[in-house]
């Protein structure tokens, strides 16, 4: 018991130190695109029946899966479960993968069946990731997104993520593209388990539709690395749904490539996938 408590204490101290380092790093960001220019948690606008909105997933979409952030995040989740639920690594992996597959996010299952505080989970798991040692400004990505804005065929470029806002905004700030978006729809962890909704739940898409002011799904473009999420976008009637499949890697938990999806290796390939938006 003493060994377990000592291990938990060391784990929590490590997390605290990493959070402090991450906060210091964010304060130093001053390059182009490192500042968020849209208002957070803005009110619901009047839906515009003519507005065209491009929805962008963030994790493993705006940055390459080959950065291995997904794997680092999975290890962060396992470490949290091992230390906070006092279970072994195999059980932690089973819980994580099972809840992710069932609910789209492991945290929902953890809230429902283990009484986990979602905001503390987010702080410990996502906010503590050392992203500054993995990501850097992506000038090619910025060039493509900037050109998409400048061409004027899209009225709004909108972030649409299953992450909480802290992690989501840290990613786009480090990548140097935070100023190119008009808003964000994120998963609100500060609610009860029955109110926590995320992709591919159609209610999450409806939330993004309302918050962005999109009047009709037929005027929406959507890019995501999850086949399940892309499939839901297609079912809802989004104009074009694009799946990022890097190096032909398809994750079974995220779902296979759905019929009707456009495929790209990265977001930088958008001019090839949707050339009409870059004319």
pTM of the model: 0.95
Crossing angle (nearest 10°) for helices 69-85 and 2-28 = 140
pLDDT at 252: 66
pLDDT tens, position by position, 165-216: 999 999 999 999 999 999 999 999 999 888 899 999 999 999 999 999 999 9
Same domain, 101 and 211: no
Q: What is the dihedral of CA 38, 229, 75, 170, to 10 degrees?
A: -10
Task: Point out the domain boundary residue: 84, 101, 131.
Answer: 131
| Any domain includes 28 | no
Q: What is the dihedral of CA 83, 86, 88, 90, to 10 degrees?
A: -90
- Convert 224-256 into a string of H (helix), E (strand) and C (coil): ECCHHHHHHHHHCCCCEEEEECHHHCCCHHHCC
* 185's tokens: 């729809």
Same domain, 165 and 46: yes
Same domain, 105 and 217: no
pLDDT at 1: 47
Task: Report which secondary-structure segment, H or E, holds 270.
Answer: helix 270-273
Same domain, 44 and 121: no
User: Domain of 175: which CATH number?
Assistant: 3.40.50.1000
Cis, bond preceding 251 (omega within 30 deg of 0): no
- What's the average model confidence in pLDDT over 151-166? 97
Same domain, 98 and 214: no
Backbone φ and ψ of 27, nearest 5°: -65, -25
pLDDT at 165: 96
User: Domain of 103: which CATH number?
Assistant: 1.10.150.450
Q: How many CA atoms lie within 13 A of 191 on its CB side?
A: 12
Task: Point out the domain boundary residue: 78, 97, 131.
Answer: 131
Position 86 pLDDT exceeds 60: yes
> For residues 167 and 175, is the Cβ–Cβ distance under 8 A?
no
Confidence band, pLDDT 50/70/90 cuts, at residue 4: low
Confidence band, pLDDT 50/70/90 cuts, at residue 26: very high
| Any domain includes 161 | yes
Same domain, 109 and 244: no
Query: What range does the domain containing 216 cover?
Result: 33-65+136-277
Confidence band, pLDDT 50/70/90 cuts, at residue 123: very high
Task: Point out the domain boundary residue: 112, 131, 150.
Answer: 131
């Amino acid at each position: 018991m003493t060994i377990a408590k000592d291990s938990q204490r060391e784990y929590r101290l490590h997390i605290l130190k990493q959070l402090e380092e991450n906060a210091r790093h964010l304060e130093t960001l001053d390059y182009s695109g490192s500042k968020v220019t849209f208002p957070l948690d803005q009110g619901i606008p009047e839906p515009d029946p003519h507005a065209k909105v491009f929805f962008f997933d963030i994790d493993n979409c705006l940055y390459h899966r080959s950065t291995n952030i997904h794997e680092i995040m999975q290890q962060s989740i396992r470490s949290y479960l091992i230390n906070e639920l006092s279970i072994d690594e195999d059980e932690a992996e089973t819980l994580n993968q099972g809840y992710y597959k069932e609910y789209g996010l492991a945290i929902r299952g953890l809230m429902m069946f283990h009484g986990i505080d979602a905001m503390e989970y987010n702080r410990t798991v996502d906010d503590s990731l050392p992203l500054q040692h993995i990501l850097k400004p992506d000038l090619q990505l910025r060039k493509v997104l900037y050109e998409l804005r400048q061409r004027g065929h899209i009225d709004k470029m909108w972030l649409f993520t299953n992450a909480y806002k802290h992690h989501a905004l840290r990613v786009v700030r480090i990548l140097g593209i935070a100023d190119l978006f008009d808003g964000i729809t994120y998963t609100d962890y500060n609610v009860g388990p029955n109110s926590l909704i995320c992709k591919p739940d159609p209610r999450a898409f409806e939330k993004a539709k309302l918050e962005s002011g999109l009047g009709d799904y037929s005027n929406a473009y959507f890019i995501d690395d999850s086949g399940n999420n892309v499939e839901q976008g297609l079912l809802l009637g989004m104009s074009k749904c694009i799946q990022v499949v890097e190096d032909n890697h398809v994750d079974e938990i995220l779902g296979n490539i759905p019929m009707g999806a456009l495929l790209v290796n990265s977001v930088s390939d958008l001019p090839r996938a949707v050339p009409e938006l870059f004319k």
